[in-house]
Amino acid sequence: MTKNQKLLTWVEDMREMCQPDQLVWCDGSQAEYDALMDQMVASGAAVRLNPKLRPGSYLFRSHPSDVARVEDRTFIAAATKEEAGPNNNWADPVELRARLVELYTGCMRGRTMYVIPFVMGPLGSPFSLVGVELTDSPYVVVNMRHMTRMGTQALEELGDTGDFVPCLHSVGAPLEPGQEDVAWPCAPMEQKYIAHFPEDLSIWSYGSGYGGNALLGKKCLALRIASLKAREENWLAEHMLILGLTDPKGRKTWISAAFPSACGKTNLAMLVPTLPGYQVETVGDDIAWLRRGEDGSLRAVNPEAGFFGVAPGTSYQSNPSAMRTIETNTIFTNVALTDEGDVWWEGIGHDAPAHLIDWQGKDWHPGDERPAAHPNARFTVSASQCPVISPDWEKPEGVPISAILLGGRRPKTVPLVVEGRDFAHGVFLGSIMGSQITAAAISDKIGQVRRDPFAMLPFCGYSLSAYLQHWLDAREWIDADKLPRFFHVNWFRRDEAGRFLWPGFGDNVRVLEWVVKRVNGEVEAQDSPLGLLPHAKDINTQGLGEVDMDTLLALSKEEWLEEAASIRAYYEQLGGVPAELQALLEDMEKRLK
Ligand code: OXD
Ligand code: MN
């Protein structure tokens, strides 16, 4: 047990408010995990998958309304609306706290409050942060065991006097005496709150059990709260994967990449190269904390310990390493169940069997119109199970980043790859990112393109305009000769008939090869209004068959003038951006004309 007084006092205060029947301090052991799983299988909250087919694995089905992040119910309760910025829902901290106290009072009646101490980042790393999540959801406990370093090891890291980020979570469904529980308790949409308080860096999440809303170490702590800390302390908390690419010369290049949710970060992080002699190792698939290393370089650490990946579309063809990672000891949420007790989803790489139980627990047959798995169905698994996890993934000092990729789903307009002219122009490319909205957040606009600077729109804990300045300021704390290079990529461009122009997946190594050559000064590029484009001949397409490289690299003047107008409008929507970025937009327009 801990002697940390701040922690003990806080737990006691929260217990008094939430009034759980019991309080349990989690130790993070396998025995604790197994006992919780047994309990959830017995209650009907979980299905144990066939141990011969999917050893140590479980399936959960959420309430049909609780399937994704809720951006409309996510709040930054900064002192002023301006600090939160137009990119966030702002709430007055005093009013929001009062509203939440009302909701949390007695909210854990009939349930157990679990205390989950956890570390984001490698144990013993100066880059790591400790959090403590209080939750009434055993599903959260078992997921946190994969996603973070939790339990006794985290309490040890915290020590008797250490500080931590307080993370309060409730599913918001108290049980009256004798009331039977449901498989997936949660609160109605208007009572869901994913609240962040910059003043004391605390998180209060109410009413949802879905990963991004409930596993508070992830989006809430490692991105929104961490971005606030990073701003104060001159570092960067980013929605980025981290990978190492070894080329045929045996050289290793560390690359991070910002893509919005459900745009293939997990696939790129674990890419199996189709070009001989290349090899990818994974450090992280969703979040990167970037700081100055002792050598003056930009060092990346993955604060997470697991993957919370999108299942649909994941197959032995698209991402064999992810498929191997989830062969055992995996939590599946909202995928379909086969009669043999295994999982199935759209795009798993083999046809659906004649009968399935769909993600809502209903019978499903091939030809049924609705999908068998929810499009945002997920797997949760420990990163250590990944066959291509990097030997350096828990290096306390992180890995030195030479290239940063930026991108999104853009069916038109955006070329396969374009390089920033310098650091500031790279930040400009990050600021103009856009992507089609995916099922990772509840939205009635799925498929529409929205601007999403650095893929941080849903995750930046303060105004994006100030965030972009913070990126520009990184030039002051990274050594000039170690500044990373920026590359804007788009795997998703389509032809007139709607077919993808680029094969993607393992063939993305062909773009990474060009990136590595650029970083090492081994290949020329050509300037364009958008930045430095490859010469078509320099992207290796050998063995690909017909690839329309001209269209993939094309910049349409008309489309880009329209794009520039939309970026200008977006900059205004943000309340203005740093003058340097505004000037780069004007420069781009001038070059286009
Ligand atoms: C995620 C997301 O779950 O971005 O990683 O929504
Ligand atoms: Mn993400």
What number is the average pLDDT over the span 448-461?
95
- In a shared domain, residues 502 and 358: no
Ligand 1 neighbour 145 (Cβ under 6 A)? no
427 and 346 fall within a common domain: no
Q: Does a structural domain hold residue 561?
A: yes
Question: Rounded to whole angstroms, how far apart are CA atoms 348 and 424?
Answer: 41
State the CATH number of the domain containing residue 248: 3.90.228.20
In a domain, 66, yes or no: no
Among 111, 510, 40, which Cα is nearest to 274's?
A: 510
253, 257, 277: which is closest to 267 by C-alpha?
A: 257
Using the predicted structure, report yes or no on whether residue 405 has a pLDDT greater than 90: yes
Q: What is the pLDDT of residue 585?
A: 98
Structural domain includes residue 62:
no
Structure tokens at 433: 């990112």
Report the atom number in ligand 1 closest to the C-alpha of 440. 6
> Has 263 been annotated as catalytic?
yes
**Tens-place pLDDT, residues 347-384:** 999 999 999 999 999 999 999 999 999 999 999 999 99
Mean pLDDT, residues 286-308? 98
The rounded Å distance from CA 432 to ligand 2 centre is: 19
Our answer on whether the CB atom of 308 is closer than 6 Å to any ligand 1 atom is yes
Query: Same structural domain for residues 174 and 158?
Result: yes
- Contact between 186 and 137 under an 8 Å Cβ cutoff? The reply is no
Residue 353 CA to ligand 2 centre (angstroms): 31
Q: Is the pLDDT of residue 515 over 90?
A: yes
DSSP-based three-state secondary structure for 96: helix
Residues 171, 263, single domain; the answer is: no
Q: Which of 67, 69, 435 has the most ligand 1 atoms within 8 A of CB, as the residue to mutate?
A: 69
- If you take atom 2 of ligand 1, which residue's CA is the nearest one? 261
The ligand minimizing its distance to the Cα of 143 is: 1
pLDDT over 90, % of the chain = 97
Nearest atom in ligand 1 to the alpha carbon of residue 308 is 3
3-state secondary structure of 488: strand
Whether 285 lines ligand 1, by a CB cut-off of 6 Å, is: no
pLDDT tens-digit series, residues 7-16? 999 999 999 9
Q: What is the pTM of this model?
A: 0.97
Indicate if the alpha-carbon torsion angle 530, 532, 536, 541 is positive or negative.
negative
Q: What is the pLDDT of residues 120-176, one digit of tens each?
A: 999 999 889 999 999 999 999 999 999 999 999 999 999 999 999 999 999 999 999
Domain boundary among 212, 233, 254: 233
Query: What pLDDT shows up at residue 190?
Result: 97
Residue-wise pLDDT tens digits, 25-46: 999 999 999 999 999 999 999 9
From 214, 233, 252, give the residue that closes a domain. 233
User: pLDDT, tens digit, for every residue of 85-114?
Assistant: 999 999 999 999 999 999 999 999 999 999
Range of the domain at 344: 307-385
pLDDT for the residue numbered 446? 87
The two most distant CA atoms of the chain are separated, in Å, by 73
Q: Say how far residue 483 (Cα) sits from the centre of its chain.
A: 24
Residue 468 has pLDDT above 90, yes or no: yes
| Closest atom of ligand 1 relative to the 212 alpha carbon | 3
Residue 427 near residue 508, CB atoms below 8 Å: no
Residue 63, pLDDT score: 98
Pocket lining: 261 vs ligand 1, CB cutoff 6 Å: yes
Q: Are residues 203 and 138 in the same domain?
A: yes
Both 376 and 510 in a single domain?
A: no
Q: Of 177, 200, 233, which residue constitutes the final position of a domain?
A: 233
Tell me the pLDDT band of 1, cut-offs 50, 70 and 90. confident
Shared domain for 283 and 370, answered yes or no, is: no
CATH number where 106 lies: 3.40.449.10
Question: Does residue 336 register a pLDDT over 90?
Answer: yes
The reply to whether 152 and 37 lie within a common domain is: yes
Of 220, 263, 386, 460, the catalytic one is 263
Q: What's the rounded mean pLDDT across residues 558-563? A: 96
- Backbone angle region of 335, left / alpha / beta, with phi > 0 → left and psi within -120 to 50 → alpha: beta
Comparing C-alpha atoms, which of 481, 266, 310, 342 is closest to residue 49? 342
Atom of ligand 1 nearest to the CA of 239: 4
513: which 2 tokens? 């090869």
| Spacing, Cα 308 to ligand 2 middle (Å) | 8
Rounded Cα–Cα distance for residues 555 and 116 (Å): 51
What would the mean pLDDT of 433-449 be, rounded to a whole number? 89
Is 585 among the domain residues? yes
What length does the chain have?
A: 593
For residue 346, give the CATH number of its domain. Answer: 2.170.8.10
Distance, CA of 388 to CA of 523 (rounded, Å):
29
Number of domains in the chain: 3
State whether 394 and 520 are in the same domain: yes
Mean pLDDT score, 451-461? 97
Q: Is residue 464 part of a domain?
A: yes
Residue 433, domain member (yes or no): yes
Same domain for 114 and 40: yes
Verify that 381 and 394 share a domain, yes or no: no
Mean of the pLDDT values across residues 434-446?
Answer: 89
Q: Residue 170 falls within a domain, yes or no?
A: yes
Verify that 442 and 561 share a domain, yes or no. yes
**Average model confidence (pLDDT) for the chain?**
97
Task: Take atom 1 of ligand 1 and give the residue whose Cα is closest.
Answer: 261
Gap between the Cα atoms of 329 and 28, Å rounded:
15
Whether residue 53 is contained in a domain is answered as no
Whether 444 has a pLDDT exceeding 90, the answer reads no
Residue 378 CB less than 6 A away from ligand 1: no
